Amino acid sequence: MLRRLYDWMLSLAAGPRAKLALFGVSFAEASFFPLPPDILLVPMTIARPHDAYRLALLTGLGSTLGGALGYAIGSLLYDSVGLWIIHLYGYGDKMDAFRETYAHYGLWIILLKGLTPIPYKLVTITSGFAGYNFFLFMLLTVISRTLRFLAVAWILKRYGEPVREFIERKLALSAFILLFFVVGGFVLVKYVV
């Protein structure tokens, strides 16, 4: 089953609607979708190494625009349901301290987490929730997400064939590694960050 899924993703990556799917997954991941765009970016870059940087830029654009939606979700939920939830859990008096901390360190939070495999939707929604400056948030998102995906493209362009061979030889291990990073990102945010 895993082999069929992998083969399907490679055929999608080489298909006529691949770029639209990549953009859609990138957009959705930055606001609500649980899987990272790497699930399409990696096979697409392996299938089309000559398009590696264009694919990375498309992924960065989708992630940036999705980040704006994530920011809006955080901002709108705070004003509608967020306050009620915060007071329900007794955190109403701590929001000023949270916002002050985010205002002080938000730049580093957005930049650093935008470069990591930590689910970016958590950053986008939190930024809206904290009322972080939207224009600065968007600038930092463009920088961090574009650099992250360009780095993936560079690695795959340079080492794509050995990566492809490893994935195909050790498909179960590769799937486990991807799952580990996705689940690990959520766990890290929940318990450590």
Sequence spans of domains, the chain: 38-188
Residue 36 sits at φ, ψ, to 5 deg, of -75, 155
133 or 191: which leads in pLDDT: 133
- pLDDT at residue 185 in the model: 57
Specify whether the CB–CB gap between 21 and 58 falls below 8 A: no
Q: What is the dihedral of CA 93, 99, 100, 104, to 10 degrees?
A: 160
User: Is residue 193 very low, low, confident or very high in pLDDT (cuts 50, 70, 90)?
Assistant: very low
Kindly provide the residue ranges of all beta strands, DSSP E only, lying in the chain, ordered along the sequence: none
Report how far apart the first and last C-alpha atoms of the chain are (Å, whole number): 35
Q: What is the pLDDT of residues 110-162, one digit of tens each?
A: 888 888 777 788 788 888 988 899 999 999 999 999 999 999 899 888 877 77
- pLDDT at residue 48 in the model: 83
Q: What pTM was computed for the model? A: 0.75
